[in-house]
Amino acid sequence: MKILITGAAGFIGSHLVDALAARGDDLVLLDNLSHGRMDNLARHRQNPRIHFINGDLRNEEQVNQAIKDCSVVYHLGAQSDVVNAVQDLDTTFQTNVVGTYHILKAAREQQVQCLVFPSSREVYGEPHHLPVDEDQPLLTTNAYGASKISAEMYCRAFRKHYGLPVVILRMTNVYGTRDRDRVIPVWIKQARACRPLPVFGGQQVLDFIWIDTVIQALISAAQHPELEQPINIGSGTGTPILDLARRILELTNSTSELSLLPPRDTSVLRFVARVERMRDLLGIHPPKDPLEHLPDVLERWDE
């Protein structure tokens, strides 16, 4: 089986490459390296079953070339950062909406067995109540969330109208090694250097999910092309952001202080996913303590 992974040099993509390469699959990797790094794929350099294409989702021809003979697609390539997405609206729209449209057209032409699309909890906006189930209205207030809603709707239309088997996963805050610029790696870096931890607002409650659980969910989703409804991928447990700071300071034996800053206007204040669908349909059971793998991030910091 030949599999296309877009965004393969990024955080989640490169972990997925590790998992699928271990299974012995033939992989085509597409990434324009705008945010991903070849270092994340270094261990696969000599693997003859893995073919890397330095290409762009916005280029339809490159997408068509990459997908040739692939029967499964994990479409992870995206402008993935909310703050950058809001600052660079054109790139966000062209990559996340037009790029996904290119993938859908090519996947339909190729008659793939399954396309997995990672959406985000950002599609919901600020929830009315917690935990948030998948039937809640999509009320995002930022361009990243808007691009994910648009892409989801194209996925839905291609499934309904053309029968394209596409599964949508709405992921919460993923953490793990190789992530560089979200709250956990930024705070670990600061804590290790005993520099202040920037805290925007400090009232947030977030749903963190360990990278390996997300990889399991992606792989399981590809085995269930019949799943029509979007599925939340999260821990189902809320972590107050100040608890996260405390855990990081303890683990790093750091004397860093917290530097309280005004909240970002792009941030959702409280989010916890309802994860029954993930459990029942994908068979994924998150751990009781969503942060139980923080020591692993520290241990494998240089990965």
Ligand X SMILES: NC(=O)c1ccc[n+]([C@@H]2O[C@H](COP(=O)([O-])OP(=O)(O)OC[C@H]3O[C@@H](n4cnc5c(N)ncnc54)[C@H](O)[C@@H]3O)[C@@H](O)[C@H]2O)c1
Q: Any idea which residues carry the catalytic annotation?
A: 144
Which residue, 252, 234, 121, is CA-closest to 187? 252
Q: Are 258 and 244 in contact (CB under 8 A)?
A: no
What's the CA gap between 43 and 18, in Å, rounded?
9
Q: Please identify, among the stretches 9-17, 154-162, 265-273, 282-290, the one whose residues bind ligand X according to the rule CB under 6 A.
A: 9-17
Asked whether position 9 contacts ligand X by CB under 6 A, the answer is yes
Among 3, 57, 155, 218, binds ligand X (CB under 6 A): 57
Tally the residues of the chain: 303
Which residue, 71, 60, 8, is CA-closest to 36? 8
What's the CA gap between 51 and 58, in Å, rounded?
20
- Shortest distance in whole angstroms from residue 56 CB to ligand X: 4
Site for ligand X in 156-185 (CB under 6 A): 171, 173-174
Among 50, 73, 112, 120, binds ligand X (CB under 6 A): 120
What's the CA gap between 60 and 68, in Å, rounded?
13
- Distances 171 to 209, 236, 240, 299 between C-alpha atoms, Å: 8, 11, 18, 25
Site for ligand X in 71-110 (CB under 6 A): 76-80, 95, 99
- Shortest distance in whole angstroms from residue 179 CB to ligand X: 6
Asked whether position 56 contacts ligand X by CB under 6 A, the answer is yes
- Shortest distance in whole angstroms from residue 255 CB to ligand X: 29
What's the CA gap between 1 and 50, in Å, rounded?
12
Asked whether position 35 contacts ligand X by CB under 6 A, the answer is yes
Among 3, 27, 29, 31, binds ligand X (CB under 6 A): 31
Asked whether position 271 contacts ligand X by CB under 6 A, the answer is no
Give Cα 102 distance to the centre of its chain. Answer: 19
- Shortest distance in whole angstroms from residue 128 CB to ligand X: 21
Q: 275: which 2 tokens?
A: 């994860």
Q: Are 118 and 221 in contact (CB under 8 A)?
A: no
- Shortest distance in whole angstroms from residue 194 CB to ligand X: 27
Asked whether position 213 contacts ligand X by CB under 6 A, the answer is no
- Residues in CB range of 246: below 8 A, 6 or more apart: none
Q: Please identify, among the stretches 20-28, 51-59, 221-229, 238-246, the one whose residues bind ligand X according to the rule CB under 6 A.
A: 51-59
Enumerate binding residues for ligand X (CB under 6 A).
Answer: 7, 9-13, 30-36, 56-58, 76-80, 95, 99, 118, 120, 171, 173-174
